[in-house]
Structure formats: structure tokens, C-alpha cells
A and B are shown apart, each in its own frame.
Chain A
Amino acid sequence: MRILCFGIAKDITGEKELDLELETPMRVDNLRVALAERYRDLDRLGYMLAVNEKYAQDDELVRSEDEVAIIPPVSGG
């Protein structure tokens, strides 16, 4: 699964884009668990996940072709 990283999430993972071996379809809350196992600092930070450019709910399913992004706390304006 390809996962885009922005802002501080890019610093935490060390990558602009992750390519993780994960079973799909996968629920968003399970994806959060999988990410927490790999990157502990992400959970401490608090973040949202976006699927296909929309904020995703925990019970949504992520498919392999979806565009997934880690959205750390935003700070525009």
C-alpha cells in the first residue's frame, strides 16, 4: 500500500511516500495499528488518515489502489 506523508509525518517516517506490505482491503483503524507498530511517534503526534483526498472514518476500507495520506495536525492560514 502506498501512503503519502506530509509535514512532520515525513520527518517521523523519513519518507515522502511509504510502500508497505499490507493486506487489502484493510479497515482504517487497522491501518492505524499497523502504522503505530512501525512508527511509534505517529500516535503520540495524533493524525488523521485521508483516503482518495477525503478524511477517512475508522470503519472505512482501504483498497490497494486507493491514495492514502497521513495528515498530521494542520497549520495553514
Chain B
Amino acid sequence: MEHIWVHISDRSLSLDEAYDFVLDESCGGNCLFIGTARNQNQGETVTHLDFETYEKMALSEMRGIAEECIQRFGVRKVAILHRSGEVRQKEKAVIIAVSGVHRAECFDACRHAIDRLKERVPIWKKEFLLDGSHWVSERP
């Protein structure tokens, strides 16, 4: 049985699909993280985002992170979903779903997955402001 689902799409991400994937009869804990687009950054109005992905490598890095979560924290199933293309306010940009026997390892794995994703998955966010656009860099 597959315990990992990684997915990149230019269409709306489904929380139900991510949750249904990780649900498992042996698990009592399920942790979901959802990252959404917000309307401001550093005091400036953001109208929308646009995500560019190096899709093949991004999927392989996402799978590596999910495997790391299972090995390191002993969680059962992991789903990592990310958007590409244009993302408007309140739309989901990323979903991490984790199931495990107990809650503690689920919280830890979920946190680890989003932190690692932000560090190493080749996806780039372009922010559109009222007066222009720019690539967002974690290391400006």
C-alpha cells in the first residue's frame, strides 16, 4: 500500500482528498497544515501570487521529505500537495496531511514537512503588488 502522495496542480487543492489519503484505521491522529495566500506582505498589498515549479524535481524532493517524515517520526501516511500557477487570496497554496498512531508525532512530522519544503523544494513564488511584481526569496 502506498503511504505517500505528492501532487502539484494548477487547479484548486482538495483538503478532502489529502485527508482521505492519510486516513488509516490504525491511526488516531491526523494533522493538516494548510498554507494560504494572504493579502499583504511587509506592509504592501498583495493582489495574488504565481508559483513556478520545476515539477519533476519538486515532486521528487516532496517524496523525499515525506519518506523522511515516516522514517524519522514513525508516522503512517503523508500527503504533500502544492499549487502551481496563479493563486488568489485565501486559496490554498500548500497542504500537508499526516496520520499517525498518536498526535505528537503527527504534529512534529507536519511541522518538519512544511519547514523542509520551504527550504529545498524547487518552487518559486512571484508576488503581485498594486504597482508591480517580484520573485520572493527566503534569502534576499
CB distance from A72 to the nearest CB of B (A): 7
Asked whether B135 lies within 8 Å of A76 as measured between CB atoms, the reply is no
A interface bracket (residues with beta carbon within 8 Å of B): 10 to 19
Asked whether A77 lies within 8 Å of B93 as measured between CB atoms, the reply is yes
B136 at the A interface (CB under 8 A): yes
Residues of B contacting A4 with CB < 8 Å?
54
Asked whether B135 lies within 8 Å of A74 as measured between CB atoms, the reply is no
Count of B interface residues, CB-CB < 8 Å? 28
Asked whether B138 lies within 8 Å of A75 as measured between CB atoms, the reply is yes
- In whole angstroms, how far apart are the Cα atoms of A50 and B138 in the complex? 18
Complex: chain A residue closest to B135, CB-CB? A8
Residues of B contacting A25 with CB < 8 Å?
none
Asked whether A74 lies within 8 Å of B122 as measured between CB atoms, the reply is yes
Asked whether A6 lies within 8 Å of B54 as measured between CB atoms, the reply is yes
Asked whether A75 lies within 8 Å of B114 as measured between CB atoms, the reply is no
CB distance from A54 to the nearest CB of B (A): 7
A14 at the B interface (CB under 8 A): no
Residues 27-77 of A contacting B (Cβ, < 8 Å): 45-46, 50, 53-55, 69, 71-77
Q: 9 new A-B pairs (CB below 8 Å) besides A76-B82, A77-B123?
A: A4-B54, A50-B122, A53-B54, A53-B60, A54-B60, A55-B120, A71-B54, A73-B137, A76-B93
